[in-house]
A and B are shown apart, each in its own frame.
Chain A
Amino acid sequence: MPKLIIDGLEVEVPEGTNVLEAAKKLGIVIPHFCYHSAMGAVGACRLCAMKFVEGPVKGVQVSCMIKAQDGMVVETADPDAMRARRMVIEWLMTNHPHDCPVCDEGGMCLLQDYTIAGGHGRRRYKGKKRTYLSQYLGEFIEQEMNRCIQCYRCHRFYRDYAGGDDFGTKKIANRTFFGRFKDGWLESEFAGNLADVCPTGVFTDKTCHFRARPWELETAPSVCPHCSLGCNLTPGAKLRELMLIKARENPKVNGWFICDRGRFGGGFASRGDRPRKFIVNRQETNRDEAVGAAVKLISAAIARYGPGSVALTGSPRTSLENNHVLKKLADMLKAENICFSTEPFRDMKERRAVSLLNAGSRRSLRDVEFSDLIISAGADPVNEAPMLALMMRQAARKGARVFVIDPRPVRLPFAFTHIPALPDELAEKLAGVLNETRNDSKNPVIICGTDIPGIDAIDACAAAAGRLNCGLFYTLSSANSFGAAVLAGSGPDFGAMLSGMEGGNIRVLIALESDPLGRYPDKERAARALKKLDSLIVMDYLPTDTAKAADVFFPAAAYAEMDGIFINNEGRAQGFSRAYIPGIPVNSMGPGRTPPELHPPREFFSEVPGRSFPAWEYLGDIARGLGMECNNLESLETIRATLSEDRRFAPLAALHPESEGALITAGQADRPKAQTPPSAGGKPDTGEGLLFYAVELTFGTEEISAYSGKTRLRAPEPYVLINSADAAGLGLKDGERVKVSSGKSALSCVLKTSASCAKGAAFAPRLTGFDAAALSGKRVNITKESV
């Protein structure tokens, strides 16, 4: 470990660290554009100059290109070094447009900051400026190429880090250009990070183009709600509208970046049709009345039919605290019908997976980057857990071998071995691959999906990981699937509750941020069963079918609008904080929303109009209304205190936002039985036809972001995907409109074929308005649609 002296302070850094990083370690931050911890140094910007006084190199040098060595003495504030940095900025500005007032980067621009810091205020160069024509790069990223300072961060992120190949560097010298061959959407699912890595205003977030300055945004450290990985991010809201989402660093989870689903999935929070009113029997009312009505309905049902008549569904997409308070309410009511997911088959598999993770085998998302052998079974990383694909790529770049055993033609941004196998063949193929590869690997990890694999494959992955000492990494469905599964334990699933409703035993359903009418695979059954209820009490922030059918409705706060905890797929509990108070966005309020009088209402309110509250507040109100002793549900602190009384949640006591999170272990005691109960779907039936699976896509299928207009832009038309040979056998061609049918249910969509898709299976995305889930696990016939 080399030791060196920077500005008179001694510092010891690991071998290979550059001097710029070494200075950072001392808290000395020297301006730099091109160096980025994730993408390394290329010495393109020349801004990080320091004076090397003693040691192997001497003179003014760019510090990111020099590895720290013993005996170095470095001065960062030496007049020569300062002059060099000042000159670099002045050169960079010679071509820079006079754009700050109309540049979206303004206020968070490194170039702006360093220009001002360096004292360059007057333009001395009188020549003309170089210009470029910018490209159309889709609806997520705006390009304004004149502002480029040639730091190559965009190229290095897009091509090297994220493995995209439709964007790169063109031309040379002073005319270097960063873009695509022709205009069009950037194809990478991680393209949004260009807005973060580009230190200038060349690449900015187009979804809030010209809409906000960073200093106006209300922000808070937060966690992505759009998949189970729990990437860290910073949502920014302006005038109660969730606008700009940026990646936040967590070295144990996402590193520095997030995927485009996380970045652009926030539109749901400011939708015009977001339910913001308290409703009782279709009538708008206030919070107290709604609580009163709910209390009355619940107590009437209990008085008449006993506590078994009340069922509660929590949600894998809401905070741990919300779910926990729901469970407390159920305990107080002595209601045993409580579950935390309305998709029983996935629920049971996730509970199983969660209970199989233990401290020895589980791996964090970032650990995947450092493994040398990755075997993924039944997971489609780009579509189910996008950032996982990026971490797998980093491992592959370091030389890891990657095997993907999956019936889908999985696409990843790097070279890997795809082994097509149907879900019931996964375990066998996994054993085969492990046999061949385990011995020459030091740090292997097994990745396992929980969407299409069956319980047997989930068990097999855990068993293999235990036996062969491999890491284990399950992908789950939602941001808090882990927390929901721990709370659910071996309790009933939603299918059991539907039977209860059908039999007339369950009379009241409290749905906390869950949507049985929209998410239960057999929608007709759910609709019939819910119709039989005496009352449906719903708390949500999405305009779901269930929310629309509610007898009593409470508008709930979403993730950026409250404090809470999500537990990610690894078991890592991470806190998120409230960025803004939810209410009707100012820009969508008031009369005169058309020119010439386009402005917010000219009246002032003492309360936030259309304010929503976190669901735990409503649940606490209801508990109090029912006359329960529940002082410990009064505030988030007391709720967390009761939560950490549970030994499994004890690590939460040490949790604070901006930490790396606290690890939770479910424990075997809560493991649900190996056989899935019949209500959960069970094994696919045998017989004729292709085995059909509803699957996830990066854009358009995840529950929350499906309500965001921005991500919907990248959702494809509904399709069904089958093997090319199977298609030929059926006399069907790629691109044809087909009918997918099983029994009485049928879907109409476009056919896609692929040679690398497993034979005998068909896949379709769970897109809004396209009921793929209804057929999942069934045998289907695919026929040409008659026009």
Chain B
Amino acid sequence: MSRSTGILKGLFEAFATTLREMFRKPVTIQYPEEKKPLSARARWRIVLTRDPDGGERCVACYLCSAVCPVSCISMQSADRGDGRRYPEWFRINFGRCILCGMCEEACPTLAIQLTPDYEFCKYKALDMVYEKEDLLIDGTGKDPEYNFYKHAGIGIVNPKGKNPDEYGPVDIRSNMP
């Protein structure tokens, strides 16, 4: 192919594309009037969920904050008074969060979850810093069945030795088998 036919072909193809697109339905979404449904697994604003019994799921294990590549999660773990471990405070700086979802992957209790809500821009940087009261929702989110304390051995939901996969406690005062 000579050089000039090449140029002509390029020109023609470009105009043909333009012409074809002129008659196609537009793909632009008129945000914010119009919103596109996102998949349930889309990774945006983070929430802390509750277990099916309504208890706070997060046990303040620090795995999410340890794995977070931008270190935007901080918290203080504590004993609630009845042996249940929970976050006294829990803070995510969304100004720094890159919505990578690593925290959700690391979370052993399925407490921290990313949601499809992406509309949370703020004018002030400090407003992007969310506290526990901003993060904690009333539902279970994904995995509606899971309650970590039904599997852990420290006896919070069920007494010690009463979880489905546990024998009753050893009687240390008897030597009978």
Interface flags for B58-94 (1: CB within 8 Å of A; 0: not) read: 0111110010000000001111000001001101000
Given A131-B161, A596-B133, A599-B132: A101 in contact with B88 (beta carbons within 8 A)? no
In the bound complex, residues from chain A placing their C-beta under 8 Å from that of B61 are 100-102, 106, 213
- CB-CB nearest in chain B for A587: B76
CA distance A107 to B67 in the complex (A): 13
Is A215 a contact of B66 with CB atoms below 8 Å?
A: yes
- CB-CB nearest in chain B for A238: B76
- CB-CB nearest in chain A for B172: A177
Q: A131 is contacted by which of B78, B108, B131, B160 (Cβ under 8 Å)? A: B160
CA distance A171 to B172 in the complex (A): 6
CA distance A133 to B161 in the complex (A): 8
CA distance A311 to B148 in the complex (A): 64
B42 within 8 A of A: no
Interface residues of A in 66-101 (CB under 8 A from B): 97-101
CA distance A100 to B109 in the complex (A): 11
In the bound complex, residues from chain B placing their C-beta under 8 Å from that of A215 are 62, 66
Is B153 a contact of A99 with CB atoms below 8 Å?
A: yes
Which of B1-9, B10-18, B163-171 is the contact stretch? B163-171
In the bound complex, residues from chain B placing their C-beta under 8 Å from that of A58 are none
CA distance A215 to B63 in the complex (A): 11
In the bound complex, residues from chain A placing their C-beta under 8 Å from that of B126 are 602-603
CA distance A672 to B67 in the complex (A): 60
A40 within 8 A of B: no
Is A599 a contact of B170 with CB atoms below 8 Å?
A: no
Which of A204-212, A352-360, A549-557 is the contact stretch? A204-212
Find the residue from A101, A128, A212, A213 having the highest chain B CB count within 10 A: A101
B154 within 8 A of A: yes
Chain A: residues with Cβ within 8 Å of the partner, total of: 39
In the bound complex, residues from chain B placing their C-beta under 8 Å from that of A600 are 89, 91
In the bound complex, residues from chain A placing their C-beta under 8 Å from that of B169 are 131-133
Given A172-B175, A210-B60, A598-B88: A131 in contact with B154 (beta carbons within 8 A)? no
CA distance A597 to B90 in the complex (A): 10
Is A175 a contact of B154 with CB atoms below 8 Å?
A: no
- CB-CB nearest in chain A for B167: A128
How far apart are B32's CB and chain A's nearest CB, in angstroms?
Answer: 28
CA distance A597 to B151 in the complex (A): 30
- CB-CB nearest in chain B for A126: B165
How far apart are B67's CB and chain A's nearest CB, in angstroms?
Answer: 11
A495 within 8 A of B: no
Q: A99 is contacted by which of B62, B154, B165 (Cβ under 8 Å)? A: B154
In the bound complex, residues from chain A placing their C-beta under 8 Å from that of B109 are 101
Is B153 a contact of A129 with CB atoms below 8 Å?
A: yes
Is B172 a contact of A146 with CB atoms below 8 Å?
A: no
Is B108 a contact of A101 with CB atoms below 8 Å?
A: yes
Is B89 a contact of A598 with CB atoms below 8 Å?
A: yes
In the bound complex, residues from chain B placing their C-beta under 8 Å from that of A596 are 133
CA distance A501 to B61 in the complex (A): 57
How far apart are A327's CB and chain B's nearest CB, in angstroms?
Answer: 43
Interface flags for A753-785 (1: CB within 8 Å of B; 0: not) read: 000000000000000000000000000000000
B129 within 8 A of A: yes
CA distance A106 to B62 in the complex (A): 10
Is A133 a contact of B160 with CB atoms below 8 Å?
A: yes
In the bound complex, residues from chain A placing their C-beta under 8 Å from that of B79 are 209-210
Is A99 a contact of B152 with CB atoms below 8 Å?
A: yes
In the bound complex, residues from chain B placing their C-beta under 8 Å from that of A603 are 126
Interface residues of A in 166-214 (CB under 8 A from B): 170-172, 175, 177, 179, 209-213
Interface residues of A in 574-609 (CB under 8 A from B): 587, 596-600, 602-603
CA distance A520 to B30 in the complex (A): 81
Given A132-B169, A210-B79: A599 in contact with B131 (beta carbons within 8 A)? yes
Interface residues of A in 589-635 (CB under 8 A from B): 596-600, 602-603
Is B170 a contact of A177 with CB atoms below 8 Å?
A: yes
Given A131-B167, A213-B62: A102 in contact with B132 (beta carbons within 8 A)? no
Chain B: residues with Cβ within 8 Å of the partner, total of: 36
A144 within 8 A of B: yes
Interface residues of B in 29-78 (CB under 8 A from A): 59-63, 66, 76-78
How far apart are B125's CB and chain A's nearest CB, in angstroms?
Answer: 10
A130 within 8 A of B: yes
Q: A171 is contacted by which of B78, B108, B131, B175 (Cβ under 8 Å)? A: B175
How far apart are B36's CB and chain A's nearest CB, in angstroms?
Answer: 34
How far apart are A204's CB and chain B's nearest CB, in angstroms?
Answer: 12
Interface flags for B121-149 (1: CB within 8 Å of A; 0: not) read: 00000100101110000000000000010
- CB-CB nearest in chain B for A597: B133
Is B167 a contact of A129 with CB atoms below 8 Å?
A: yes
In the bound complex, residues from chain B placing their C-beta under 8 Å from that of A587 are 76, 88
Is A132 a contact of B172 with CB atoms below 8 Å?
A: yes
Is B85 a contact of A97 with CB atoms below 8 Å?
A: no
Is A211 a contact of B78 with CB atoms below 8 Å?
A: yes
A216 within 8 A of B: yes
CA distance A99 to B166 in the complex (A): 13
Given A211-B78, A599-B89, A602-B129: A101 in contact with B170 (beta carbons within 8 A)? no
In the bound complex, residues from chain A placing their C-beta under 8 Å from that of B148 are 101
In the bound complex, residues from chain A placing their C-beta under 8 Å from that of B172 are 132, 170-171, 175, 177, 179
- CB-CB nearest in chain A for B61: A101
Is B133 a contact of A102 with CB atoms below 8 Å?
A: no
Q: B77 is contacted by which of A129, A170, A212, A597 (Cβ under 8 Å)? A: A212
CA distance A561 to B126 in the complex (A): 30
CA distance A145 to B78 in the complex (A): 20
CA distance A132 to B166 in the complex (A): 10
In the bound complex, residues from chain B placing their C-beta under 8 Å from that of A172 are 175
Interface residues of A in 92-150 (CB under 8 A from B): 97-102, 106-107, 128-133, 144, 146-147
CA distance A84 to B54 in the complex (A): 44
Is A102 a contact of B62 with CB atoms below 8 Å?
A: no
Given A101-B108, A144-B154: A599 in contact with B91 (beta carbons within 8 A)? yes
CA distance A132 to B88 in the complex (A): 29
In the bound complex, residues from chain B placing their C-beta under 8 Å from that of A99 are 152-154
Is A132 a contact of B77 with CB atoms below 8 Å?
A: no
Is B63 a contact of A171 with CB atoms below 8 Å?
A: no
In the bound complex, residues from chain A placing their C-beta under 8 Å from that of B152 are 97-99, 101-102
Is B66 a contact of A101 with CB atoms below 8 Å?
A: no
CA distance A598 to B80 in the complex (A): 13
How far apart are A381's CB and chain B's nearest CB, in angstroms?
Answer: 34
Find the residue from B61, B167, B172 having the highest chain A CB count within 10 A: B172
Given A128-B165, A170-B172, A599-B91: A101 in contact with B154 (beta carbons within 8 A)? no
Is B85 a contact of A102 with CB atoms below 8 Å?
A: yes
How far apart are B147's CB and chain A's nearest CB, in angstroms?
Answer: 12
In the bound complex, residues from chain B placing their C-beta under 8 Å from that of A129 are 153, 165-167
Is B153 a contact of A131 with CB atoms below 8 Å?
A: yes
Given A132-B170, A602-B126: A101 in contact with B175 (beta carbons within 8 A)? no
Given A130-B170, A131-B166, A146-B153: A210 in contact with B175 (beta carbons within 8 A)? no
CA distance A600 to B129 in the complex (A): 12
13 A-B interface contacts by CB (under 8 A):
A97-B154, A98-B153, A99-B152, A101-B61, A102-B152, A128-B165, A129-B167, A170-B172, A596-B133, A597-B131, A598-B88, A599-B132, A602-B126
Instruction: List 16 additional A-B contacts (Cβ < 8 Å) besides A98-B153, A100-B108, A102-B85.
Output: A97-B153, A99-B154, A101-B108, A107-B62, A129-B165, A131-B153, A132-B169, A133-B160, A146-B154, A171-B172, A211-B78, A213-B61, A213-B66, A599-B132, A602-B131, A603-B126
What residues make up the interface of A, taking CB atoms closer than 8 Å to B? 97-102, 106-107, 128-133, 144, 146-147, 170-172, 175, 177, 179, 209-213, 215-216, 239, 587, 596-600, 602-603
Closest 3 CB pairs of A and B: A97-B153, A101-B61, A599-B89
